[in-house]
């Protein structure tokens, strides 16, 4: 209710000062709408983001006085084997997640975009993993991935795989396991985006192509696919950014292990922050992550602009 | 008619769809099934999908072994307060960004949008440091502050707000309503569906939040449901049935909300996705 009181107060204030120019008054009124949210946003998000820029050049443990450290933090992380590996693993994780999820979510959207009875139930079922909590999801996948008794290896053995992998408990297979769960959990979300885009395709266009004798395959690739380019860019970029920052699912599944097998950049930042309490190194690693995501985002805007101009 | 499928194609489509759904839901069905088994039966092969002798006692024991009821209450409290703050401040700011003309508006909005793309890991440490200076670490207030001013809410509501025709607002202004009157009497009622979307997203995000509570909460009596399941997994790591029962319980509120408000979910994703 505080916002309403504030609104009334501001309204009274703007009436009193009717001598003000219209523009000035508009600015004050407009700002008054934004202020309640902006204060919180400024203090809790904007300042911390800007503070990271300073911390990455500092030596600080959160208690003792902060010291200027120049590029020392960056030198440390770039020569730190764990960080180097984390960057490589993040790239592997991202490329696999983005490629497979985009492909699957598009396929699922095409499947679901049919006028069939009970189609809503299928959509719900595929989308549900997205809203399920990572903790519960991780708990069940850990059991499914069990080496000796887990369901997945039972199935593999049934199909003749004599020595199935240890999945989340094995340094070699843990990353694959994490990628599988990540795809399973997120594909429903991107399917919905594709579905919305497919439903925006004008039916007249599709009908026209049918009259011209195009089969279903041609109809998809020649008519619908070009119209989906915006959605595809959005899906690919969102997936890329989300893969770079995905953390809680991996943490819940493996805590970055075994060893450092699933320590991606975001896990590295977390460990430097809340395990080592090294603000400088954590912020330097965070800056690298930020730079990568920023470049991808800018790239996205560029491409989108180019395509909307064409 | 478009999409007229032959019966054969239809049948084929159903089979593919059913297979896909079985694959996506399998882990959750397994969870439900295991939650009703004794630990020694959880991994028994062949799998008994519907336990012949369901161990309902699992669902009883979870409330005794860790303070699950307390955790549920804590989570509800944090979620409700965060949602209220979000709805008020975001709808207010959304109107400001969408329908008020003033200098610097677009720049300010750009800053908001830009922070959506900044991964939380980039600023989680300075943010922690700040909340620590407020003396709020290990309180529920820290988590409320953490989520209440998420730029996503402003963005989502602004997108909806942009769709309200300007003529309508202009007419109301000519009738003598102040900007605040326009917001309260014209815009807010129209924002109903989009606010519903925001409420649902906020609810699910908060209910499922794991990293926030893990970083900020130490005291057992303050913990949330997600941390509760982690406690189970730590303390009773081989009590598989129990862990699964706790997981099922933690999913129930989200399942209910999801099934009731599925339309808003889909709408929210489509809006933020395609116009963003």
pLDDT digits (tens, 9 = 90+) for B88-98: 899 989 988 88
Task: Decide: B241 and B42 in contact? Cβ < 8 Å.
Answer: yes
Nearest to B178 by CA among A261, A25, A217: A25
Question: Is A149 inside any structural domain?
Answer: no
pLDDT digits (tens, 9 = 90+) for A215-257: 888 888 888 888 888 888 888 888 988 898 888 899 999 988 7
Question: Is A207 inside any structural domain?
Answer: yes
- The residues, any chain, with a CB within 8 Å of residue A251's CB and separated by 6 or more, are A267, A270, B210, B211
Question: Is A145 inside any structural domain?
Answer: no
| Residue B194: band (very low, low, confident or very high) from pLDDT cuts 50, 70, 90 | confident
The pLDDT of residue B223: 92
Q: Which CATH number is A130's domain given?
A: 1.10.3720.10
Q: CA B241, CA B44: separation in Å to the nearest integer?
A: 12
Give residues 4 to 43 of A whose Cβ lies within 8 Å of B: 4, 7-8, 10-11, 14, 23, 26-27, 29-34, 36-38, 40-41, 43
Number of domains in chain A: 1
Question: Is A285 inside any structural domain?
Answer: yes
In order, the DSSP letters of A207-243 are: HHHHHTT--HHHIIIIIIHHHTHHHHHHHHHHHHHHH
In chain B, the residue whose alpha carbon lies closest to the alpha carbon of A285 is B122
H helix or E strand, kind and range, residue A38: helix A22-41
The pLDDT of residue A60: 85
pLDDT digits (tens, 9 = 90+) for A109-145: 998 888 788 888 888 888 889 888 898 899 889 888 9
Range of the structural domain that residue A275 is part of = 73-134+174-309
Q: Give the domains, in start order, of chain B with CATH numbers.
A: 7-60 (no CATH), 61-274 (1.10.3720.10)
* Helix, strand, coil percentages in chain A from 3-state DSSP, rounded to 5: 75, 0, 20
**Helix, strand, or coil (residue A254):** helix
Question: Is A159 inside any structural domain?
Answer: no
Find the mean pLDDT for residues B166-186.
85
Cβ neighbours around A162 below 10 Å, total: 6
Question: Is A277 inside any structural domain?
Answer: yes
Nearest to B239 by CA among B78, B12, B57: B57
Cβ–Cβ gap B254/A143 under 8 Å: no
H helix or E strand, kind and range, residue A59: strand A58-59
The average confidence (pLDDT) of chain A is 85
A44, A50, A181, A263, A290 from B115: Cα distances, Å: 12, 11, 27, 25, 11
What Rg, from alpha-carbon coordinates, does chain A have?
25
Q: CA A59, CA A72: separation in Å to the nearest integer?
A: 9
CA dihedral (B169, B175, B180, B181) positive or negative: negative
Instruction: Provide the β-strand partners of residue A67.
Output: A59
Task: Write the ipTM.
Answer: 0.85
Question: Is A141 inside any structural domain?
Answer: no
Residue B53 DSSP symbol: S
The pLDDT of residue A245: 85
H helix or E strand, kind and range, residue A73: helix A72-79
pTM, full prediction: 0.85
Find the mean pLDDT for residues A48-58.
89
Question: Is A57 inside any structural domain?
Answer: no
pLDDT at B99 over 60: yes
Count residue pairs from A and B with Cβ separation < 8 A: 292
Q: Which of B17, B225, B243 to mutate to test the interface with A (most CBs of A within 10 A)?
A: B17
């Amino acid at each position: 209710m505080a916002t309403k009181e504030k609104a009334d107060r501001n309204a009274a204030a703007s009436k009193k000062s009717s001598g003000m120019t219209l523009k000035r008054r508009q600015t004050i009124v407009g700002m008054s709408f934004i202020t309640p949210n902006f204060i919180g946003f400024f203090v809790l998000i904007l300042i911390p983001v800007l503070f990271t820029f300073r911390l990455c050049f500092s030596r600080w443990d959160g208690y003792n006085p902060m010291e200027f450290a120049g590029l020392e933090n960056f030198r440390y992380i770039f020569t730190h084997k764990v960080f180097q590996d984390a960057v490589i693993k993040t790239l592997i994780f991202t490329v696999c997640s983005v490629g497979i999820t985009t492909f699957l979510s598009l396929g699922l959207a095409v499947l679901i975009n049919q006028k069939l009875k009970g189609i809503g139930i299928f959509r719900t079922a595929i989308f549900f993993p997205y809203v399920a909590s990572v903790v519960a999801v991780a708990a069940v996948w850990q059991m499914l991935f069990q080496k000796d008794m887990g369901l997945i290896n039972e199935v593999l053995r049934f199909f003749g795989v004599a020595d199935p992998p240890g999945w989340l408990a094995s340094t070699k297979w843990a990353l694959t396991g994490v990628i599988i769960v990540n795809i399973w959990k997120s594909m429903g979300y991107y399917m919905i985006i594709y579905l919305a885009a497919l439903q925006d395709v004008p039916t007249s266009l599709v009908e026209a192509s049918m009259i011209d004798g195009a089969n279903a395959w041609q109809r998809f690739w020649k008519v619908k696919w070009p119209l989906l380019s915006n959605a595809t860019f959005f899906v690919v970029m969102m997936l890329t950014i989300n893969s770079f920052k995905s953390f809680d699912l991996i943490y819940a599944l493996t805590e970055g292990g075994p060893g450092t097998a699933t320590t991606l950049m975001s896990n590295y930042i977390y460990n430097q922050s809340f395990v080592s309490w090294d603000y400088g190194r954590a912020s330097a690693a965070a800056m690298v992550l930020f730079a990568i995501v920023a470049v991808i985002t800018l790239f996205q805007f560029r491409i989108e602009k180019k395509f909307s101009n064409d | 008619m478009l999409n007229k499928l032959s019966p054969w194609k239809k049948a084929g489509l159903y089979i593919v769809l059913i297979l896909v759904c079985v694959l996506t839901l399998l882990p959750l069905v397994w969870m439900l099934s295991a939650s009703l088994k004794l630990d020694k039966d959880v991994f028994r092969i062949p799998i008994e999908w519907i336990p012949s002798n369901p161990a309902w006692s699992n669902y009883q024991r979870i409330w005794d072994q860790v303070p699950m009821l307390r955790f549920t209450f804590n989570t509800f409290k944090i979620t409700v307060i965060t949602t209220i703050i979000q709805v008020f401040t975001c709808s207010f700011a959304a109107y400001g960004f969408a329908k008020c003309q003033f200098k610097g508006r677009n720049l300010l909005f750009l800053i908001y949008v830009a922070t959506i793309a900044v991964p939380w890991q980039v600023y989680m440490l300075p943010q922690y440091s700040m909340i620590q200076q407020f003396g709020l670490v290990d309180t529920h207030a820290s988590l409320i502050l953490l989520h209440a001013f998420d730029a996503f809410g402003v963005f989502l509501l602004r997108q909806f707000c942009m769709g309200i025709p300007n003529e309508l607002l202009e007419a109301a202004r000519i009738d003598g309503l102040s900007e605040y009157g326009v917001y309260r009497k014209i815009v807010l009622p129209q924002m109903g569906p989009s606010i519903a979307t925001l409420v649902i997203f906020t609810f699910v995000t908060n209910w499922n939040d794991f990293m926030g509570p893990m970083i900020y909460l130490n005291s057992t009596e303050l913990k949330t449901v997600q941390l509760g399941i982690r406690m189970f997994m730590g303390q009773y790591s081989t009590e598989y049935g129990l862990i699964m029962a706790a997981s099922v319980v933690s999913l129930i509120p989200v399942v209910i909300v999801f099934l009731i408000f599925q339309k808003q979910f889909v709408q929210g994703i489509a809006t933020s996705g395609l116009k963003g």
